[in-house]
Homo-oligomer: A and B are copies of this chain.
Amino acid sequence: MKRPRILLTNDDGIGSEGLAAAYVALCRIGEVVVVAPHTERSAMGHAITVLDPLRINEFQNQALSGYAVSGTPADCVKLAFGTILDQPPDLVVSGINLGPNTASHVLYSGTVSAATEARILGVPAMAVSLGTHRGPSWDAAAEATAKIAQAVLRHGLPDRVLLNVNVPSLPRHEIAGLKITRQGRSRFAEDIVRGHDPRGTPYYWLAGEYQMTDDDPQTDAWALQHGYISVTPLSFDLTADGAIPEISKWVL
């Protein structure tokens, strides 16, 4: 059987540890091409670069070789499909992100948006994130990446659906299991740091801290916090179906 072709990207940048961990895991199951942002592009959401040109540079470090792009995660996917790959891949994997992408993180996440972009372009896609910002333990996440990637390659994904995977930063034997989840409601407690720059001009710096408030075991945030690998099917059809009857009653 032909080995599957996998496009690997992320939002932490092409030199990041999490990308290297995913690369090693995915090379065991397919041919992997890496196209990732040159530098960290976190919290980019689904930004694309339309007002400026983009650059592509070949990249190599001890872990991998690939293509470094000057743009956002979604740009990387568009450029990979449009210039680097001669045919669409069988799967796009985005990650492994250093830090969770659960609950409201999903909306800001460049990691998720790269997978969304791939799904818009018609290819099965998954985002993978590690549930910690420090002292990362990549083994369980790398193993989950390969295992879930194989399942996606085998089963395909429903129309307009991608997978958002979050893995606890725990040794493999401490992982509680795997749950299919819903996007939770936890969000940032807003905070803005004010200061003055070296020229005396005021600045404002977003500094909100994520607060875990989900107590529903069906949510991604709960699952991750309780040691489970969380797999959430996400849609990019944002229509709030349940609201249509109510709003249709308004006199407009």
Q: What per-residue 1/0 map shows which CB atoms of A88-118 lie under 8 Å from chain B?
A: 0000000000000000101110000100100
Given contacts A81-B190, A204-B56, A233-B247, contact A47 B49 (CB under 8 A): no
Q: For the complex, would chain A's binding face be called helix, strand, loop or mixed by DSSP majority? A: mixed
* Beta-carbon contact of A204 and B148 below 8 Å: no
Q: What is the interface residue range for chain A against chain B?
A: 35 or more
* Beta-carbon contact of B190 and A78 below 8 Å: yes
Interface centre among A40, A231, A238, A251 (most CB of B within 10 A): A238
Task: Give min CB distance, A228 to chain B, whole Å.
Answer: 11
* Residues of A56-101 contacting chain B, CB below 8 A: 56, 72, 74-75, 78-79, 81-83
Task: Give min CB distance, A105 to chain B, whole Å.
Answer: 11
Partner of A238, one of B158, B191, B234, B252: B234
- A211 lies within 8 A of chain B by Cβ: no
Q: What per-residue 1/0 map shows which CB atoms of A197-213 lie under 8 Å from chain B?
A: 10001111110100000
* Beta-carbon contact of A51 and B47 below 8 Å: no
Q: Which residues of B contact A54 (CB under 8 A)?
A: 203-206
- A187 lies within 8 A of chain B by Cβ: yes
Query: A45 — nearest CB in chain B belongs to which residue?
Result: B46
Partner of A180, one of B47, B183, B231, B244: B244
* Beta-carbon contact of A234 and B244 below 8 Å: no
Q: Kindly state the separation between the CA atoms of A234 and B45 in the bound complex, as whole angstroms.
A: 17
Q: Kindly state the separation between the CA atoms of A128 and B157 in the bound complex, as whole angstroms.
A: 33
Q: Kindly state the separation between the CA atoms of A238 and B3 in the bound complex, as whole angstroms.
A: 32
Task: Give min CB distance, A167 to chain B, whole Å.
Answer: 12
Q: What per-residue 1/0 map shows which CB atoms of A171-187 lie under 8 Å from chain B?
A: 00000001010110101
Q: Kindly state the separation between the CA atoms of A158 and B234 in the bound complex, as whole angstroms.
A: 20
Q: Which residues of B contact A252 (CB under 8 A)?
A: 147-148, 151, 178, 231
Q: Which residues of B contact A182 (CB under 8 A)?
A: 237, 239, 241, 244
Q: Kindly state the separation between the CA atoms of A82 and B121 in the bound complex, as whole angstroms.
A: 37
- A1 lies within 8 A of chain B by Cβ: no
Q: A43-B51, A148-B252 are in contact. List 10 more A-B contacts (CB 8 A).
A: A43-B48, A55-B202, A56-B202, A78-B190, A107-B238, A158-B240, A158-B246, A160-B185, A233-B243, A238-B238
Partner of A82, one of B160, B185, B191: B191
Query: A191 — nearest CB in chain B belongs to which residue?
Result: B82
Given contacts A206-B75, A252-B178, contact A82 B235 (CB under 8 A): no
